[in-house]
Chain A
Amino acid sequence: AQSVTQLGSHVSVSEGALVLLRCNYSSSVPPYLFWYVQYPNQGLQLLLKYTSAATLVKGINGFEAEFKKSETSFHLTKPSAHMSDAAEYFCAVSDWGGGGSQGNLIFGKGTKLSVKP
């Protein structure tokens, strides 16, 4: 069965510092991986997705993630944090097995990012 583990429920960085949010996955099939962001009192917005093309995936707002099969990881990074990046971030894996099956997303428990001035 597919699952994701997000290491650290809270991460705090200074403005301008590197952002690193960790996600490890478990999947019995080639994984499809996603990062979502949730701003306060809003729904989730797709940041980026890995669907077996390039291992380095670029998303919106300067975020990127690297798929590392040997480490079963899909960590999210941004070189320089901005105050507007303060939000909750969710990693997700699809249990899509290919073919005609539909697949659902399995979400991690989320990491809340705080950005200090």
Chain B
Amino acid sequence: DVKVTQSSRYLVKRTGEKVFLECVQDMDHENMFWYRQDPGLGLRLIYFSYDVKMKEKGDIPEGYSVSREKKERFSLILESASTNQTSMYLCASSSPGQGPYGYTFGSGTRLTVV
């Protein structure tokens, strides 16, 4: 069964800390995505990547960066965590194939910044 694994389910960090959220997929997918999910706002795209060492800004990239050194791993970095980054973070992957077949999501990381 295909899998997207996020390294932590729950995370508590202090304001100003540098935070790494890790995502690994075992499906050899080219595309990977980071979203944040907040009540009433749905899913908002932070960054995405269509290939190794490639990254594109999504709708809300401010305060975040990403790294994709290997095809299977896509890391989200909060350079200096702030309380307004408290949220659920979801990683997803997909393969372009013949069209948009939809994404496979990880279970999410609930980040609290105190």
User: Footprint of B on A, CB under 8 Å?
Assistant: 9, 32, 34, 36, 41-46, 49, 51, 90, 94, 96, 98, 102-105, 107-110
Contacts and interface: CB of A to CB of B under 8 A. Distances in A.
Interface of B: 4, 9, 31, 33, 40-43, 45, 48, 50, 58, 90, 92, 96, 99-108, 110
Contacts of A107: 42-43
A78 to B, nearest CB: 20
B103 A105 contact: yes
Given A9-B40, A104-B48, A109-B40, A32 B100 contact: yes
Contacts of A49: 101-102
Contacts of B108: 41-43
Contacts of A94: 100
B6 to A, nearest CB: 8
Contacts of A42: 107-108
A6 B87 CA distance: 22
Contacts of A109: 40-42
Contacts of A96: 99-100
